[in-house]
Amino acid sequence: MKPRTAALAWPVSATYAGLAVVLVVVMAMSLTLGYRIYSLDQVYRALFAFDGTDTSVIIANLRLPRAVVAPMVGAALGIAGVLVQTLSRNRIASPDTLGLNAGASLFVVMASSVLGVSSLMGLSFAAALGALGAALLVFGIAATAGGLSPLRIVLIGVTFAGLGHSVVEVVLTTNEAQMQQLLFWLSGAFVDRPLALAANGAPFMIVGGLVALVLSRALDALQADDSTAASLGVPLFIVRGAAFLSVSLLTGASVAMAGPVGFVGLVVPHAARWLVGLRHSRQIVAAALIGAIYATAADVAARFVIYPIEAPVGAVTAVVGGAMLLILLKRRAA
């Protein structure tokens, strides 16, 4: 996708407003659509005049957490995707590329198999530690192996991701009961997530997003090349380190809340650049809104793909993301 030229672009504020409206609509769809369909009036009564009926319980305790967690995760992964693609100068890179999802999955499987952790909060904490640990490992190896070049970061991240997924597969194939327990989580899902997870993850997402915004001007220079950025006074090591920290916080909180939801960080940055251009101060806000819309819409779609059974939301985002990846690869090869 090519960013729109300034001559063709409508005001960025109008773009943000339009995206915000779409987000409200898909969140309303998340509250009303599913195995049972509820009216907006029923949703209103369940949220503001709770009466203890089955309808109120389902909406307040099951639908509402999903309508909150999904946009939070989508926004965080959208911002993380922008940063990763700038850091790597690669338009087909994503947080998955850096091995963060693999680290989260590995820690969850090891926590379950070795420590016997079975609670959702415990697995979520392990996922956050795994994503952060993977980020520190990739960043540390790259820093000590000749510098934080974009290519080196990606190569180390892809290598770690392959190793992590291999270990996960070995552990799961030797323990069928555990595989059944963790398979849905490892595919990424927003179902049965309590609001406490959103409350726990929100501070990390907010800090990660603010760090990204603070770095936006430096990232504008960094997307060209190192020599240009350095000539403009950008401290390359510090900026890359801070951006990597932001990606780690955003991705770690996301996988802690919903598991490794793939391809959101790949798809969303392209849409953000097409809508608002290359300036990171605009990209980051747009990516947060688009990511929130994308994840929430995917969650709604997952309820009907194999109705009445619910599909993992990660499977839905993988189908869309995989198709887009093929299109991008074809354009690069053309």
- What span, in angstroms and rounded, lies between the C-alpha atoms of 222 and 182? 39
| Sign of CA pseudo-dihedral 258, 263, 265, 268 | negative
pLDDT tens sequence across 183-218: 766 777 898 888 988 988 899 899 999 999 999 999
Q: pLDDT averaged over the chain?
A: 85
Contact in structure between 197 and 124 (CB atoms under 8 Å) = yes
What does the domain layout of the chain look like in residue ranges? 19-333
284, burial (CB in 10 Å: exposed 0-12, middle 13-18, buried 19+): buried
Is the pLDDT assigned to residue 280 strictly greater than 90? yes
The vertex-290 CA angle with 296 and 86, nearest 5°, equals 130
CB-based contacts of 51: which residues, under 8 Å, 6+ apart? 45
The pTM assigned to this predicted structure is 0.88
CB-based contacts of 100: which residues, under 8 Å, 6+ apart? 131, 134, 135, 157, 247, 248, 251, 252, 255
Contact in structure between 90 and 150 (CB atoms under 8 Å) = yes
Write down the residue that tokens 């907010």 correspond to.
Answer: 206
Give pLDDT, residue 8. 43
Q: How far is CA 299 from each of CA 191, 234, 246, 324, rounded to the nearest angstrom?
A: 9, 40, 25, 19
- What span, in angstroms and rounded, lies between the C-alpha atoms of 208 and 80? 9
Average pLDDT over residues 291-310: 92
Residue 318, amino acid: A
At residue 309, the 3 state secondary structure works out as strand
Count of other CB atoms within 10 angstroms of residue 220: 18
Average pLDDT over residues 285-311: 93
Provide the pLDDT confidence category of residue 3 given band limits of 50, 70 and 90.
low
CA 155 to mean position of chain CA atoms: 21
Say which DSSP state 311 is in.
Answer: P
Give pLDDT, residue 216. 95
Using omega within 30 degrees of 0 as the cis cutoff, is the peptide bond preceding 65 cis? no
Residues 53, 25, 268, 324, Cα dihedral to 10°: 90
| Sign of CA pseudo-dihedral 87, 84, 149, 89 | negative
- What span, in angstroms and rounded, lies between the C-alpha atoms of 151 and 235? 19
* Domain 19-333, CATH class in plain words: mainly alpha
pLDDT tens sequence across 25-83: 999 999 999 989 999 999 999 999 988 899 999 999 999 999 999 999 999 999 999 99
Query: Bridge partners of 306?
Result: 309
Give pLDDT, residue 330. 72
